[in-house]
Amino acid sequence: MVIPYLYAFSSVVIISVISLIGVSTLSLRAERLRGVLFVFVALAVGALLGDAFFHLLPEAFEYTQNMAVTSFLVLIGLLAFFWLEKLLHWHHGHHGDISEIEHEDGKVKPLGKLILFSDGLHNFLDGLIIGASYLISIEVGIATAIAVVLHEIPQEIGDFGVLLHAGYSKHKAVFYNFIFALTAVAGVLVLILAGESAKHLIPWIIPFAAGAFIYIATADLVPELHKQRGSNTALEFVAIFFGVGAMYLLLFLE
């Protein structure tokens, strides 16, 4: 029983390191980086929507086999993140963090915190699923981990870009992205501590996460793309379809 957990821990650590992919942009000049931020944001839109519609929702319906309950949980995810964003906007207006770099209105946008929270939830779920897969067999666990790795690459690039767009410095965006990526390790820990009962949480978390991703992509990121002046609409579409396409191709690996 120890060997599957060792495999699971190794996998989630490797996946967490992928969040450091943003380091590759640290050498770029600020002006050039701002010029391609809209591509990262568009990539995140595609990755979030593709993940929700191609992976999370089908998995949710398969787990629950109750369309009404699953649909209700998706709506709960949407409304919960609407409420969370309202709360973050209120906090943002009353307790701005002056230590962050100034961005448009002089403060970090609440969107950055929302992305970090949702990414932490997603990675936690990944940790649960990877751990459960290794409990089935080493082969199934490895296949699942590879699928998650390929899934994380476009999403982490997109998330890093969104954090920069929200007003975080490059170094802080890399650091926070990595910290919240480590929630995948927490997911494996919960599975170990809770044993078989932890797997019963997955049917509830998956549709909630799907609703959260749909809300963030459509209510937060798409409006951000509309605000960009001088951005290339065709390139935005290409980036969105690339993110969606990457999520679709992963279906053939599951």
Query: C-alpha angle 92/77/236, rounded to 5°?
Result: 70
For residue 108, the SS3 value is coil
Contact 160, 53 (CB under 8 A): no
What pLDDT shows up at residue 71?
93
Confidence band for 103, pLDDT divided at 50, 70 and 90: very low
- Tens digits of residue pLDDT in 1-24: 577 778 888 888 888 887 676 555
Mean pLDDT to the nearest integer, 219-242: 82
Report whether pLDDT(144) > 80.
Answer: no
Residue percentage of the chain with pLDDT more than 90: 7
- Tens digits of residue pLDDT in 156-185: 776 777 777 777 877 788 788 888 888 888
- Tens digits of residue pLDDT in 25-81: 555 555 565 666 778 788 888 888 988 898 888 888 887 778 899 999 999 989 988
Q: Around Cβ 220, how many Cβ atoms within 10 Å?
A: 23
CA distance 34 to 101: 14
User: Could you state, in order of their start, the residue ranges of all structural domains in the chain?
Assistant: 2-20+37-95+108-253
Token pair for 10: 């190794």
| pTM recorded for the entire structure | 0.68
The average confidence (pLDDT) of the chain is: 76
Query: C-alpha angle 34/155/210, rounded to 5°?
Result: 125
Helix axes 110-136, 138-166, angle to 10 degrees: 180
Residue 14 exposed, middle or buried by CB count within 10 Å (0-12, 13-18, 19+): middle
Which of 83, 77, 149, 84 lies closest to 116, judged by CA? 84
Contact 48, 162 (CB under 8 A): no
- Tens digits of residue pLDDT in 121-139: 878 878 887 887 787 677 7
